[in-house]
């Protein structure tokens, strides 16, 4: 009888069995193929300084790992790993393992801003029967986009932005008729925009900017009437903006055609794009006047017409508030800063270099200065002092006022912590250099009337030359 006392009660045995079963099911919850594929991917990573994959450990449930999503049957459906661009150690180095082909239920792969993943296009995606979303962005993948990319007929989004893919866009991309987003920007792609893209009627985003594409902007883009974003900037496109683009007016929010070789006048029909909030036509060869129809762009927030050959008059915009405006380096003679700029409650970037402005800066009283981070008023006939304006800013990053007639004591200016760029060259600035100059990335105060020692700096002598009596490195030593 006494020996029976050594056996645990029945409820203890039951509890122990249930606990063992629970632990077994939780540790084995993730499908073995998915776990193997993911661990093989991790083994191909040679550097992970911020621990993006730190939770990926053998013997644990991969459905609980960082960046992994599973469906109710515990199969992995998405892989999401992204770095933080503002954090230097937030990256992965290595290759993308073909073992990810084991993730047969994967419908989305998101490897974004990891910066140092290399290799060619990951061909294992062709063996993923459910893949719908591919975002492999801002890495170092190279080579050509596969000619059989059109076999991925379930794709709804394809984004390879910010890699090093070269060659032409494959013809078979026209087979991806389910695509809502096509983003191939920031690569080394050449050739023209494929005629077959006209078949992608569901596109809301077409982004091909920052490549080496050439030829004219095709007429058929006007048939992609679901487009919200059309980004073709930083290429070698030539010719005029095709009239068919006017068909995009009802829905288009963002039109970026800057940094090309487009010619002719800016079309009047752009004024019919009432939903447009961003328009970039900068660094082209546009001439003539800005259409009066631009007065209808009441929702425009970001407007860049800089570096063209545009002339007066500039239309009186009816915007409720503009965030970013750049009209620099045309042939405008605005005389005053436009009233619709002065009254904007949300503006953060104002660039009106060489716009024929003739004002005393003390008298310019913008409604809001709190949000300003960039101001460029260079190469005008602006006199007076910027101190009243600049001392009201809290997040200023850069101020450019070279080649004006500004006259003030530099020591009276408040240097906010965010300030990185300052250019007062070729003005009438006097006084001494504040110590805060040392903390800036770029400074040019040359050809003014400054005196005294230069605070410790790594800037070149050209940033300080042509003043009355500045001294010390990088200029000749101060006299004792």
> Is pLDDT above 50 for 145?
yes
Report the CATH superfamily, name and number, of domain 331-480.
Ribonuclease Inhibitor (3.80.10.10)
Please enumerate in sequence order all residues whose Cβ is within 8 A of that of 348, keeping only pairs 6 or more positions apart, or say none. Answer: 323, 324, 371, 372, 373, 374, 395
**What pLDDT was estimated at residue 237?**
98
- Residues 237-294 have pLDDT tens digits of 999 999 999 999 999 999 999 999 999 999 999 999 999 999 999 999 999 999 999 9
Per the CB < 8 A criterion, the answer to whether 237 and 214 are in contact is yes
* Pairing of β 302-304 and β 324-326: parallel
Q: Which CA distances in Å does 47 have to 35, 60, 95, 436?
A: 20, 22, 11, 38
- Reported as a pLDDT band with limits 50, 70 and 90, residue 8 is very low
> Is pLDDT above 50 for 10?
no
> Is pLDDT above 60 for 1?
no
**What pLDDT was estimated at residue 417?**
95
> Is pLDDT above 90 for 468?
yes
Domain boundaries, the chain: 331-480
**What pLDDT was estimated at residue 28?**
52
- Residues 324-345 have pLDDT tens digits of 999 999 999 999 999 999 999 9
The pair of structure tokens assigned to 379 is 């190469």
Share of the chain above pLDDT 70, in %: 94
> Is pLDDT above 60 for 4?
no
> Is pLDDT above 70 for 217?
yes
- Of residues 440 and 15, more confidence is placed in 440
**What pLDDT was estimated at residue 293?**
97
- Give the mean pLDDT of the chain: 93
- Residues 91-105 have pLDDT tens digits of 999 999 999 999 999
Q: What is the pTM of this model?
A: 0.91
> Is pLDDT above 80 for 235?
yes
- Reported as a pLDDT band with limits 50, 70 and 90, residue 369 is confident
Radius of gyration for the alpha carbons in the chain, expressed in angstroms and rounded:
30
Per the CB < 8 A criterion, the answer to whether 249 and 269 are in contact is yes
Q: What residue has token string 């007066």?
A: 312
Q: What is the mean pLDDT of residues 131-142?
A: 98
**What pLDDT was estimated at residue 141?**
98
Q: What is the mean pLDDT of residues 396-400?
A: 97
Q: What is the mean pLDDT of residues 178-191?
A: 98
- Residues 40-89 have pLDDT tens digits of 999 999 999 999 999 999 999 999 999 999 999 999 999 999 999 999 99
């Amino acid at each position: 009888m006494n020996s029976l006392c050594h056996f645990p009660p029945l409820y203890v045995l039951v509890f122990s069995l249930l606990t063992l079963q629970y632990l077994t099911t939780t540790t084995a919850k993730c499908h073995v193929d998915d776990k193997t594929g993911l661990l093989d991917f991790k083994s191909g990573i040679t550097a992970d300084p911020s621990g993006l994959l730190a939770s990926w450990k053998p013997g644990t449930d991969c459905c609980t790992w960082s960046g992994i999503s599973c469906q109710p049957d515990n199969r992995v459906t998405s892989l999401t790993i992204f770095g933080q661009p503002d954090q230097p150690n937030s990256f992965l180095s290595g290759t993308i393992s073909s073992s990810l082909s084991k993730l047969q239920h994967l419908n989305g792969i998101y490897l974004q801003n990891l910066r140092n993943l290399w290799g060619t296009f990951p061909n294992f995606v062709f063996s993923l029967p459910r893949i719908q979303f591919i975002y492999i962005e801002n890495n170092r993948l190279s080579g050509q986009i596969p000619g059989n990319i059109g076999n991925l007929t379930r794709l709804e989004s394809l984004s390879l932005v910010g890699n090093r893919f070269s060659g032409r866009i494959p013809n078979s991309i026209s087979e991806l008729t389910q695509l809502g987003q096509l983003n191939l920007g920031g690569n080394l792609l050449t050739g023209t925009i494929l005629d077959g893209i006209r078949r992608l009627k569901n596109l809301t985003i077409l982004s091909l900017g920052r490549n080496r594409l050439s030829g004219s902007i095709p007429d058929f883009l006007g048939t992609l009437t679901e487009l919200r974003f059309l980004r073709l900037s930083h290429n070698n496109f030539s010719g005029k903006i095709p009239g068919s683009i006017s068909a995009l007016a009802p829905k288009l929010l963002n039109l970026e055609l800057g940094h090309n070789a487009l010619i002719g006048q800016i079309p009047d029909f752009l004024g019919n794009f009432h939903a447009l909030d961003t328009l970039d036509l900068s660094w082209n060869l546009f001439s003539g006047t800005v259409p009066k129809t631009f007065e209808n762009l009441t929702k425009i927030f970001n407007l860049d017409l800089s570096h063209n050959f545009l002339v007066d008059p500039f239309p009186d915009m009816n915007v409720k508030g503009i965030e970013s405006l750049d009209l620099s380096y045309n042939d405008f003679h605005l005389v005053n800063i436009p009233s619709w700029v002065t009254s904007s409650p949300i503006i953060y970037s104002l660039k009106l270099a060489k716009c024929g402005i003739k004002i005393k800066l003390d008298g310019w009283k913008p409604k809001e200065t709190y949000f300003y981070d960039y101001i460029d008023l260079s190469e005008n006939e602006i006199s007076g002092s910027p101190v009243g304006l600049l001392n009201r800013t809290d997040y200023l990053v850069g101020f450019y006022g070279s080649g004006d007639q500004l006259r003030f004591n530099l020591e009276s200016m408040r240097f906010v912590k965010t300030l990185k760029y300052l250019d007062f060259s070729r003005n009438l600035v006097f006084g001494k250099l504040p110590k805060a100059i040392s903390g800036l990335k770029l400074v040019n105060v040359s050809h003014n009337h400054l005196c005294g020692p230069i605070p410790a700096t790594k800037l070149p002598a050209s940033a300080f030359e042509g003043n009355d009596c500045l001294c010390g490195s990088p200029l000749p030593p101060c006299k004792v």
